[in-house]
Structure 1
Amino acid sequence: MTGEQTTEWRPTACILCECNCGIEVRLGGPDGRTLDRIRGDKAHPASQGYTCQKALRLDHYQNGPHRLTSPMRRRPDGTYEPVGWDTAITEVAAGLARVRDTHGGKTIFYYGGGGQGNHLGGGYASATRAALGSRFRSNALAQEKTGEFWVNAKLLGNYTRGDYEHAEVVVFVGKNPWQSHSFPRARPTLKEIARDPGRSMVVLDPRTTETAELADHHLALRPGTDAWCLAALAAVLVQEDLLDRDWLAEHATGLGRVESLLAAVDVDAYAAICDLDPGLIRRTARRIAAASSVAVYEDLGVQMSLHSTLSSYLNKLLWVLTGNFANPGGHYVPTSIVSLAGGGGGRERRSPVAGARIISGLVPCNVIAEEILTDHPGRYRAMIIESANPAHSLADSPRMRQAIRALEFSVVIDVAMTETAQLADYVLPAASQYEKWEATFFNFEFPHNYFHLRRPLLDPLPGTLPGTLPEPEIHARIVEALGALDAIDLAPLAEAAQRSRAEFGERFMRLMGEHPEAAPLLSVILYRTLGPALPDGAASAALLWGAAHRAAAQIGPSIERAGFEGAEALFDAILAHPSGVVFSVDEPADNWARVRTPGGRLDLDNEIVLDALAELAGAEPPGHDPDFPLVLSAGERRSFTANTIFRSPEWRRRDRDGALRVSRADADALGLADGDRARVTTRRGSAEVLVEVSPMMRQGHIALPNGLGVTRTPEAAPAGVAPNDLTSSDHRDPIAGTPYHKHVPARLEPLDAL
């Protein structure tokens, strides 16, 4: 593929948010490796040709100055030297095995497993972890979503989403989909809702965001008071008897204590805490209750703020109490090829040092440093970090960097010499997301769900020793170097795959029967045997063969409605459709079969959050610290911010330094104007910032963007402020351990006053 100028448009996907919109790319440049032109892919089942402006800048990821071209080994003086792949794999396997054999595999911690669009690698990492006996892991979901996952597990034993495209009333809680998207064709959908007089949009957000400007009901609450606001909304439903009682009697349990607690809520007092008109809260609740369908979307603005897990429960009451599950335009349980969210259930696990609740298999990110920086015998002593940058992205970055340095061994698998890679013992360069077969498991649509296996646009980036590799190959080599497959002869299985998929399936089942101990190594076994027989070099897709068979067993009727008779037909379709394929078609009633509570009904009786709700009436509202009178949102999404795979500031056409947004009232009180420099200080640290006076911000609320503070190369100075230099790891939710990044007490001072 390399070195050819072409006018051909090739389908792939954007990798900057969970939507992974389908795009088409035309290559160019002197070596044919430039993503020269980018447009939306009309053949993509979900995005249908839509894309935002961020995708048009993806060449800054593919061809930025950050790319690694050979494995790197840390020297004793802290510098790095390139080494060959054979040397790197041998030494990485030996280093990890040394920790395993000395302290046990449970002391080897895995972090990452894919960003917004590269999830296949994480599937193969499971084999590496199994070969090492690694038990504990985490990723970015444990900074954001685990509180919601935990509530979902208690409520219905599964993951749930809303049908935002068709709901009569859509409620966004701490969510600005104009910028953060998260469902297909977000901006056209928002415009359609705003134009339709029969539909309504509700936004709970302190900021007057682009989404809030379109809303019929904008509850511009005081930062950190989401729980009070949501409790007041739910209380109105109870106090005015707006519940769908017939539906609740048939489909829910545990209403008694919920109803009594909400009946006692003083709506006017809660509205005052939120700095809202109680009439607005009542009108909003009545509109929700009157709708034929309601869909609620919570996101980081509430999931990273005070009372975040309680708020996750309370916002679900808005659609549960009004009977909006398994109905068109309401909430549903999506199908999946590979599930990332998990349903919970089973015995609760805790982390070995902090005793933190492990949700959906993920250790809370905010305790990782605590799990390392101790003399506890069960502490994490080694880390495998893949397609992630915890030294930059986790709370209290200085402490996280200290923790990584304290490890006995660490290896990073990534495309770039990230802030985390600059601390590791070894860095293994992965092929970019456009140089390999890749996929996302963020597939949550209803009633038509889709899966997109992306083909490589380019060969892996060449190098001298000898370049990059896709993560499945890296993990296969590590597993083999650890000797995990020495006792199994894979040759007959590989030969069967070359003859026919049917014969492969038979021999595969026989092999698993003979070697049940090899089941945890399944992904690498498939990669080494079925992978070479797949068309067009699609070896990395071998994992999906097993996933297709599992999906066919679990959601067979939905797959059949999509036109596929069995797993093999589905797998063939995934391989054959470069723009993605609809793999399941659901009916509303299918959702009840996916409720995994003991009685098959929604269970509202969550003692932990109901105790928290009871305590809310006497809790001190936020905002009473004279030393830190402002609330900082650390990590606001804007038109020219993205995740940190964009490492060069040149991609941003505006706001290159990532200004701190301040309200006009606060700016005037501090004597600040647009373009001034100031110092923002939190309990954890301080930073010099560029000021932007913004009508979006309410008084007392300031915001820094996400994605800033990274270096384009290790030698270059970072652009903008790294938000997590200002956040604290002990400032977190007591239930799920998620950080309070959106509610960081702060103060702001003009530089000339210091």
Structure 2
Amino acid sequence: MPRTALRICPLCEATCGLTLTIGDAAVTGARGDREDVFSRGFICPKGAAFGAVDSDPDRLRAPLVRRDGTLQEATWEEAFDAIAAAVPALVGEYGAQTVGVVLGNPNVHTMAGALYPPLLLKALGTRNLFTASTLDQMPKHVSSGLLFGDPFAIPVPDLDRTDFLLLLGANPVESNGSLCTAPDFPGKLKALRARGGTLVVVDPRRTRTARLADRHLAPRPGSDALLLAALAHTLLAEKLAAPGRLEEHTEGLGELAAALGSFTPEAVAPACDLTAAEIRTLARDLAAAPTAAVYGRIGSCTVEYGTLASWLVDVLNILTGNLDRPGGALFPLSATAPAPGPARPGKGFALGRWSSRVSGHPEAKAELPMAALAEEIETPGDGQVRVLIAIAANPVLSAPDGDRLDRALVGLDFMVSVDPYLNETSRHAHVVLPPPPPSQSAHFDFAFNGFAVRNQARYSPAVLPLEEGRMDECEIQARLVLAVSGMHGSAAPDAVDELAIRTTLAKETADPRSRVHGQDPASLAGLLTGGSGPERRLDLMLRLGPYGDQFAGADGADDDSDAGADAGADAAAGAHAEGEAAAHGLSLERLLAHPHGIDLGPLRPRLPGVLKTRSGRIELLPDPIAAELPRMRAALADRPTALVLVGRRHLRSNNSWLHNVPALTGGSNRCTLQIHPEDADRLGLADGGRARVTADGGSLEVPVEVTDAVRTGVVSLPHGWGHDRAGSRLSVASATPGVNVNQLLDGTRLDPLSGTAVLNGFPVELTPLP
């Protein structure tokens, strides 16, 4: 008989609750979980296709090991034997810095991706970490680190209470949001307008989000930072700035007017291709709104001044008094975050603590630019990357100049790929370790709860047992840690989790500020629940977190009410007296007793406790930002190029990893070059014809789609395509491969502060093809 089971969707950042129909040991249907405390039944086409994603026949079912130059199926023991024989020996011969680790976007959609890569990096001792962040969101991490002292202190718009929302470079109606976890983002935008609020969208394309807006501004791509600087200048020059209580928590307010003095609306208008009047009106409306939030995403991050744009988003939220304010932009408090302590100065945030070997790119958040990976593999010398471990990563498609990286991967001494597919990157591996389908994996959103528009906690046990021959992804990554550490065969995978638990408890019990200070770590470890190492670690994080029981009353009965969650939320807000036990606080057992999740309440003001700067205040004009402003000031004199390219999102896609699911291909999800009719006429291009696109890194031949949804002077080509390389096993994707837009880039265009590749707003030339 068919049955139903609950599962949090792992296919985008919205993290919606799903009700799955299970029949014949497979997922046969998916609908929104109406009782989910966060998503309330919302579902998008990706979630509806959960069963098709889960049962994709091209998913690898067993490890692959390269023998005689060919990847062949092997046992798990043979796969880890090969890793254990190769990696420690190569590290011993060439050194730890000859190992590179690449983490792709899907890592943050799994429990394993949150729990094990830090342990892997520690075991390897390498500084060569490359992640999808430098292809996406790193500018926001850097700006938050500089402003607030913590790169993960990212305020999100209070969508349900704001009166005025300014979106830049974001298309959440199709992306479902990013660095802003919000199920039914489209519904929240419609509700904003229905209650009399205002939505302003800044985007060179008339996206589905822009069509919902009260006002749509279509500036030149790449000019976001200039526009934001002019808005801030107007607020200061016209005495509209009103930071209110933020002033006592902020330093640098007095210097900001001089730093932005050159960025008048009249000065930036030509570069933005907007009028000065439009800019001034927007600034005045932002200041006049009862509450307001400014939110910028990938279109404002993956540009030349991405970090400045990300910084200026929060400068505007501060100047208008809307940071850390209901209806403005607030800091979420995840259930697995460290429990808040008293406000005090912190260690601050530093950039460039080390640099890449070849081009000297400074690290940001302990990461190096993904665009530098190929040269680190190709270039001989001490520290040349000889070993690569890629987890859920496909940089051949997602990074600039994939052809160069494709060639470089061939020269590696050894490569491990943890990936369910043999894709454009994993086909180069010496060992491929395939995780099971999501239905066979437990799930908790460690990353996305930190960006959620409402505090909540939800846990999904696996809805189907592991098929014979498969291995849980947490066990895969734990065994990988043991293999590279030289401990393969001498320790069980659970030993990795128990070491993590002991390390955390030893630190907590030794910290005088912790509520478990002075207790016995071994006794506390014995109180943890859960049927696996990952579950025990989750229980530990929940119990030590801001809503957790702090191990108080662990032997007591749970009344199965939500009073404990409320008590924990009050404690997080500072309502509990010091030392008062949250006897019914969060734990894994409480989450398991509430399968639709536990609501922890709306976002609340958290300043100054969230600050970790050396001053203990918001540092509004940090030195790296001040040093970067003159470079942007010089750009005011630049003459716009004739055509620039931007990417675009598709509702039924997420980067490159959903192109192999028939239900998520076709329709509007096509790899076409969108161009405005006026530009098409000028260049002799016709709808349905073909064109050659040329930029720094090379050229592509693409089908043309003529549409007025994109403004003049701009063309748009989506990201994540190019499934035409021999050796992959992606039958659906390879049938309609599209072209890889990142092949137009050679990797030299980077935002200097964050190392993020400039994937939007770069110049291109078009040539009609017969």
The alignment's TM-score, normalised by the length of structure 2, stands at: 0.85
Is 1:428 the counterpart of 2:446? The answer is no
2:211 aligned with 1:221, yes or no? Answer: no
Distance apart, 1:623 and its partner CA: 5.9
How much has 1:229 moved relative to structure 2? 1.1
Cα deviations across residues 355-380 of structure 1 (Å, max 9, x unaligned)? 32222222221222222221231232
SS of the equivalent of 2:81 reads: helix
AA matched with 2:622: N
Distance in 2, matches of 1:492 and 1:149, equals 32
Aligned 8 A contact 2:333 2:603 in 1: no
Q: Give the CA deviation at 1:253.
A: 0.7
| Residue pair 1:530, 1:539 contacting (<8 A) in 2 also | no
- Alignment partners' CA distance in 1, 2:704 and 2:661: 18
After alignment, is 49-58 or 704-713 more displaced? 704-713
Aligned match of 2:516: none
- What is the Cα deviation at residue 510 of structure 1? 8.0
One-letter code aligned to 1:192: A
- Contact in 1 for aligned 2:169/2:296 (Cα 8 Å): yes
Q: Indicate conservation of the 8 Å contact 1:662/1:703, yes or no.
A: yes
Gapped regions of structure 2 (runs ≥ 5):
339-345, 511-520, 551-564, 572-580
Summarize the alignment of residues 34-73 of structure 1 with structure 2, pairs less than 5 Å apart: 35-73=27-65
Range with greater deviation from structure 2 (345-354 or 355-364): 345-354
Aligned AA for 1:156? F
Distance 1:640 1:472, change over 3 A: closer
Structure 2 counterpart of 1:561, one-letter code = A
Aligned amino acid, residue 393 of structure 2: A
Q: Name the counterpart of 1:413.
A: 418
Q: Which residue of 2 aligns with 1:196?
A: 195
Which residue does 2:597 correspond to in 1? 580
Question: Which of 449, 456, 461 is matched with 1:450 structurally?
Answer: 456
Q: State the Cα distance separating 1:530 from its structure 2 match.
A: 8.2
Distance in 2 separating the partners of 1:726 and 1:548: 45
Q: For residues 626-645 of structure 1, what are the alpha-carbon distances to aligned partners after superposition, in whole Å with 9 as ceiling and x for unaligned?
A: xxx321114x1023332322
Q: Is the 8 A contact 1:326 1:332 kept in 2?
A: yes
Which residue matches 1:548?
A: 542
Pairwise mapping of residues 61-210 of structure 1 onto structure 2 (< 5 A)? 61-77=53-69, 79-112=70-103, 114-158=106-150, 159-161=153-155, 162-182=157-177, 183-197=182-196, 199-210=197-208
Matched residue, 1:638: 650
Say if 1:251 and 1:492 are closer, same or farther in 2 by CA, change over 3 A. Answer: closer
What is the CA distance between 1:539 and its match in structure 2?
Answer: 4.6
> Is the partner of 2:674 in helix, strand or coil?
strand
Is contact 2:547–2:586 with CA below 8 Å preserved after alignment? no
Deviations 1:176-205 (CA, angstroms, capped at 9, x unpaired): 1111122222010111122333x1112221
Check the 8 A contact 2:337/2:545 in 1, yes or no: no
Change (3 A) 1:249 1:592: closer
Q: How far apart are the structure 2 equivalents of 1:709 and 1:406?
A: 22
SS of structure 2 residue aligned to 1:369: helix
* CA distance in structure 2 between the partners assigned to 1:412 and 1:507 by the alignment: 28
SS of alignment partner, residue 357 of structure 1: coil
| Distance 1:591-1:508 versus aligned 2 partners, 3 A rule | closer
**Residues 622 and 343 (structure 1 numbering): CA distance in 2 closer, same or farther, change over 3 Å?**
farther
- Say if 2:456 and 2:601, in contact at 8 Å, map to a contact too: no
Answer whether contact 1:446 1:586 (CA < 8 A) is retained.
Answer: no
CA offset digits 1:120-139 (Å, max 9, x no partner): 33412333333333343232
In structure 1, the residue matched to 2:12 is 17
Render the CA deviation track for 1:271-323: whole Å, top value 9, x for unaligned: 12211121111111011111222212111111011211111112222111111
Give the deviation of 1:620 after TM superposition. 5.3
Aligned position for 2:237: 239
Instruction: Please report how far the alpha carbon of residue 553 of structure 1 lies from its aligned counterpart in structure 2 after TM superposition.
Output: 9.0
Distance 1:409 1:655, change over 3 A: same
CA deviation string 1:462-512 (max 9, x = no partner): 4xxx3x212221133334445666999999999xx9xxxxxx999996899
Taking the TM superposition and a 5 Å limit, the aligned residue runs for 1:270-669 are: 270-338=268-336, 345=349, 348-353=352-357, 354-441=359-446, 442-444=448-450, 448-462=454-468, 466=469, 468-481=470-483, 538-552=532-546, 560-561=568-569, 565=582, 569-582=586-599, 584-585=600-601, 588-619=604-635, 624-625=640-641, 629-634=642-647, 636-648=648-660, 650-651=662-663, 652-655=665-668, 657-669=670-682
Q: Secondary structure at the match of 1:434?
A: helix
Shift of 1:404: 2.0
Q: CA deviation at 1:538?
A: 4.9
The CA RMSD measured in Å over matched residues stands at 3.4
Distance 1:191 1:202 in 2: 12
- The residue aligned with 1:713 is 729
SS in structure 1 opposite 2:293? strand
Alpha carbons of structure 1 residues 669 and 117: separation in structure 2 relative to 1, 3 Å? same
Name which of structure 1's ranges 186-195 and 348-357 shifts more when overlaid on structure 2. 348-357
**Partner Cα separation in structure 2 for residue 486 and residue 632 of structure 1:** 48
Q: Deviations over 1:413-434 (max 9, x none)?
A: 1111111110111101111222
Give the 3 Å change call, closer, same or farther, for CA 483–617 of structure 1 in structure 2.
closer
Structure 1 residue ranges without an equivalent (≥5): 498-503, 515-524
Q: In the alignment, what sits opposite 1:698? A: 711
The code of the aligned residue for 2:402 comes to S
Match of 2:248 among 247, 250, 258: 250
Higher mean alpha-carbon deviation, 366-375 vs 312-321, is at 366-375
Q: 1:380 aligns to what SS in structure 2?
A: coil
Matched-pair contact (CA < 8 Å) for 1:438–1:540: no
User: Which letter maps to 1:729?
Assistant: G
Rounded to whole Å, the distance in 2 between the matches of 1:507 and 1:190 is 44
Instruction: Quote the residue 2:752 is aligned against.
Output: 734
Q: Is the 8 A contact 1:12 1:578 kept in 2?
A: no
Q: Which amino acid aligns with 1:394?
A: A
Q: 1:347: how far off?
A: 7.3
**Quick check: 1:225–1:622 contact (8 Å CA) kept in 2?**
no
Q: Report the 3-state secondary structure (helix = DSSP H, G, I; strand = E; otherwise coil) of the residue aligned with 1:598.
A: coil
* Helix, strand or coil at the partner of 1:97: helix
Structure 1 Cα separation of the partners of residues 62 and 489 of structure 2: 31
In structure 2, C-alpha distance between the alignment counterparts of 1:509 and 1:615, rounded to whole Å: 47
Distance across 2 between alignment mates of 1:687 and 1:264: 39
Q: Judging changes above 3 Å, is the alpha-carbon distance between structure 1 residues 486 and 696 closer, same or farther for their aligned structure 2 residues?
A: closer
Contact 2:644 / 2:714 at 8 angstroms: preserved in 1? Answer: yes
Contact preservation (8 Å) 2:653, 2:669: no
Structure 1 Cα separation of the partners of residues 110 and 675 of structure 2: 36
Q: 1:743 to 1:391 in 2, by over 3 A?
A: same
For residues 670-729 of structure 1, give each alpha carbon's deviation from its aligned partner in whole angstroms, at most 9, with x where no partner exists: 233322222222221222222211221001111112332236725745521122222221
| Letter of the structure 2 residue corresponding to residue 596 of structure 1 | K
CA–CA distance in structure 2, aligned partners of residues 576 and 426 of structure 1: 40
Q: What is the aligned residue count?
A: 710
Describe the shift of the 1:44–1:743 C-alpha distance in structure 2 as closer, same or farther (beyond 3 A): same
Shift of 1:12: 0.8
1:675 to 1:639, Cα distance in 2 relative to 1, 3 A: farther
Paired AA for residue 244 in structure 1 = A
Question: C-alpha separation between the residues in 2 aligned to 1:19 and 1:85?
Answer: 34
Task: Please report how far the alpha carbon of residue 386 of structure 1 lies from its aligned counterpart in structure 2 after TM superposition.
Answer: 0.9
Cα distance change on mapping 1:299 and 1:510 into 2, 3 Å: closer
Residue identity opposite 2:382 in structure 1? P
Query: Residue 573 of structure 1 aligns to a residue in which SS?
Result: helix
Q: Tell me, yes or no, if the aligned pair for 1:344 and 1:359 is still in contact at 8 Å.
A: no
Which residue of the partner structure matches residue 517 of structure 2?
none
Query: In 2 relative to 1, CA 117–206 (structure 1 residues): closer, same or farther, beyond 3 Å?
Result: same
Aligned AA (1:658): C
